[in-house]
Structure 1
């Protein structure tokens, strides 16, 4: 570890904290439906969408109607993308002449991008046309991200409103987030990336001759536009197979730093928005403090392990940190930081191969996802996931003080606790269940590149990433098969929507409750004690469930490494 590496990490966290309040205030304006300076430009577009769809944005919905509209919208988008991928060979903007994808790959990819997972069982530059990338995939990058933020707004209203029967309009929330947040930011971001050297063209490829005189054909396409929303929307799906390790997606140290910032900035801003929504910004800062504490612990462990390197290689004279699978232009510190950032959020973009990390260095990204990706988390999904843990934490606190638990003025009763447990339990049940199936079947065991604990980790990481809607891969798993495409597709759908529906039910129930004033007997939910309790609940409830599987995978792999054993 170096001083330069720690300064990079400190600068990253400092800039994010400085951006949290401004971004949170902008999101709060969208949450309230207030006019912004961008309404002059995009207001007519917004009204045009409503007229075209026959929607009254002022007509709010109860939680059931909100959930049904959201589910139907995402189902239609998934079917549309499936059709685009299957018919790719017949559609325009296909300069390389790619045929349509297989049934199981189209199914997996459509579900993947609909659920904001962006798991990729294919190499984008050799499988998908420009039209498929732009129309089939990038549309989801906007709308799945906007869906997540809209759902967070709905839960905020549940906590903020009193004796209400509605939690907002899904259509208005999603439209405003897309037009007044994601679209303008992505236009500016894409221009920055183009100026930095990221391609933006409808050409399929270009022939070049290297300095060594070798002729190569380099894949091109509309990369910058997709890269921008891939990061800001915590989508993560790369235009190229190497994702953000590819110089056409992430050419410089500056673009790498900006990409990391863009992954977390909206998620952090939403914590401030929550505080504003419930009338106490200290509530938002307390949540952010808990998130950042867990985040910094993960960064420290990963950086320490990757900087320490592999003792097996040290024994044969190859000293230094672990640079396997990392880009020289980024180095160990930036690669370790990126890995924690992208898995603390539900992004899944990578600038280094997690399969090549040291066992404990690779365990941190895996563990981040297993926590439910609530350590900042994806846009919207992170904060509403964390608030589910907050409901459990305040329930435990209520038991400690001997009274009905309360959180931001709402009594947390049996219904809310049961629904929160139901939503949180989805993750371990599906991850561990599907990992077990893949670990004992012939089709599942045909996937891992490695044997032993590392091969098991490749399987475990795949299902963790799918259910957690992250999308990053451990790289070693050959997943473009009927078995993995099918099972992972089901896992992604469950991991997204089987958490959302109970969460919306909680929002509807809370909105109908009256406000309970805080008294001397109330458990404080803004100080260090509350932050510590939140951290403990997230680590114990979210983490201990997976301890046996981690022991079989990365922990066993680490013990083998320090004893000089390879598989």
Structure 2
């Protein structure tokens, strides 16, 4: 399939997901989906949750924290004790404490950053009972928070925003599990591995050489890592290897799985606030940003490696260094941009081998706050915070109290939205500054100069945005990077979730203000343009100096900018 036809097919499939999966999630989160009621009720009894009781935003937030803390401790314990636990046919030893801690935090925060090679570090139990389980649960947490914030906009005069435990269970069993089950069957049919038989020894009959091939329950983990915008992978090669991503169909399906829920949630948002046009406006912003960054990457990679071009080497297929010949430069660009514009982090090519501008596109895509379209749930509640700031700016322009979806946006709402938007860039820049100033941090990059700086900046950007992709070229599995990385992981998750839920609680209590001639319409192209501009300006003002020291300087060192 040519690249143009791939884009057409992707748009058509995502349009169907937007309409039908988006509508289905409204049914799920409003409690009208009952076909798994016999599964749902025993779960509530087991965890002691009352499905009819709702929570204030404080109770909702505390439930998120408690659940995540328990999941963190269980995952950490499995990693540390895996050599004494079952389902360890390859006899993996216990994971180092700092690696185990970073990994547990990473998967609980929906980041799935891995500073190790999965096939040589994790047992089958760790892969299935910790990593894959958290792929489901951390994604369900993000979706629950997004729905809670949407309820804040939709409700009026309400003290509650839903029940976290109910939202968690429904998102998992009604949305994530069914889609992942069907997709896993497709992956297996295409050749993705799914076995508990341990590694395989392969001998070459011609020369007697032998090779050990790691195997495992891969397909079941592969689909949820994409669907839940988790990232990570059973293998260090990730989606570039045929055991995880065997064919062009699975490559395309991976992109669809990554994008389907973030895109569909914009329809869910519009439906729940009783205005589909509002959801379309949010989707339009996401589409403009995604399209711009995809174009930037594809053009840069299609032109080839500037270092090779300077020597006169012809590159008719574009920059193929670090890319799978099965997919090529353009398809690889689409996959990696999809991964970094969401909070996925899985890749089918080596980001470290991209051109400086191509690498900059992936880096800056995350720096926008991953709202284009962002991860499952995180993209929606992230861009809604930008929307609150946007209507505040719009209100200043027309000289009246700003409103969004009929709710007055006052000082409390603006402060919470600003906190949620700014915590990520502040954390990234502070951690990057520390790493470039101390010996333990400077020992990490394997490249000198601006490229080495980009490797450090990318690592903290990826972790704090809960993305999980790796730029490569950084020795990150050290106590310094594992511990400092967890700071970014935790702040990038919970220092945004808590303001989002506080914002939801405050909005739910407000009454709706009638629309007047002075109301700034938030379902029109002007709002789409203004919101897009706010995202770009905030991202540019906070990160442009740092980006200038990395990929921009590297590109200019080749004697050209493009």
- Return the offset for 1:11: 2.7
TM-score using structure 2 length: 0.98
Matches within 5 A, 1:99-498: 99-209=93-203, 213=207, 214-320=209-315, 321-498=318-495
Matches within 5 A, 1:91-102: 91-102=85-96
The answer on whether the counterparts of 1:338 and 1:351 sit within 8 Å (CA) in structure 2 is yes
- Among candidates 66, 75, 86, match of residue 72 of structure 1: 66
Alpha-carbon distance in 1 for matches of 2:415, 2:488:
22
User: RMSD of the alignment, in Å?
Assistant: 1.3
- Return the offset for 1:5: 2.5
Alpha-carbon distance in 2 for matches of 1:211, 1:280:
66
The range that moved more, 261-270 or 204-213, is 204-213
Alpha-carbon distance in 2 for matches of 1:74, 1:426:
20
The answer on whether the counterparts of 1:310 and 1:561 sit within 8 Å (CA) in structure 2 is no
Alpha-carbon distance in 2 for matches of 1:9, 1:361:
19
SS for the counterpart of 1:237 is coil
SS for the counterpart of 1:349 is coil
Aligned to 1:57: 51
Aligned to 1:31: 29
Alpha-carbon distance in 1 for matches of 2:415, 2:47:
37
5+ residue gaps in structure 2? none
User: CA offsets, 1:379-425, max 9 Å, x none?
Assistant: 00000000000000000111111111011111111100011111111
Alpha-carbon distance in 1 for matches of 2:502, 2:421:
14
Alpha-carbon distance in 1 for matches of 2:470, 2:508:
39
Alpha-carbon distance in 2 for matches of 1:120, 1:405:
43
Alpha-carbon distance in 1 for matches of 2:256, 2:206:
36
In structure 2, do the counterparts of structure 1 residues 309 and 412 end up closer, same or farther at CA, with 3 Å as the change threshold? same
Aligned to 1:4: 2
User: CA offsets, 1:186-221, max 9 Å, x none?
Assistant: 110111110010011112211223587542111000
The answer on whether the counterparts of 2:306 and 2:355 sit within 8 Å (CA) in structure 1 is no
The answer on whether the counterparts of 1:303 and 1:361 sit within 8 Å (CA) in structure 2 is yes
User: CA offsets, 1:492-523, max 9 Å, x none?
Assistant: 01110001101110000000000112111101
Alpha-carbon distance in 2 for matches of 1:212, 1:399:
77
- Return the offset for 1:15: 2.3
- Return the offset for 1:541: 1.2
User: CA offsets, 1:421-478, max 9 Å, x none?
Assistant: 1111101111000000001111001110111000000000000001000000101111
SS for the counterpart of 1:556 is helix
- Return the offset for 1:174: 0.5
Aligned to 2:532: 535
SS for the counterpart of 2:202 is strand
Alpha-carbon distance in 2 for matches of 1:560, 1:548:
17
In structure 2, do the counterparts of structure 1 residues 161 and 447 end up closer, same or farther at CA, with 3 Å as the change threshold? same
Alpha-carbon distance in 1 for matches of 2:66, 2:185:
34
5+ residue gaps in structure 1? none
SS for the counterpart of 1:476 is coil
Alpha-carbon distance in 2 for matches of 1:16, 1:302:
21
SS for the counterpart of 1:87 is helix
SS for the counterpart of 2:557 is helix
Alpha-carbon distance in 2 for matches of 1:13, 1:451:
41
- Return the offset for 1:30: 1.3
- Return the offset for 1:316: 2.7
Aligned to 1:544: 541
The answer on whether the counterparts of 1:154 and 1:504 sit within 8 Å (CA) in structure 2 is yes
Alpha-carbon distance in 2 for matches of 1:277, 1:199:
40
Alpha-carbon distance in 2 for matches of 1:211, 1:500:
57
Alpha-carbon distance in 1 for matches of 2:350, 2:151:
40
Aligned to 2:518: 521
Aligned to 2:19: 21
User: CA offsets, 1:87-144, max 9 Å, x none?
Assistant: 0110011011111011100100000000000000110000000000000111100000
Aligned residue pair count:
558
SS for the counterpart of 1:216 is strand
- Return the offset for 1:351: 0.3
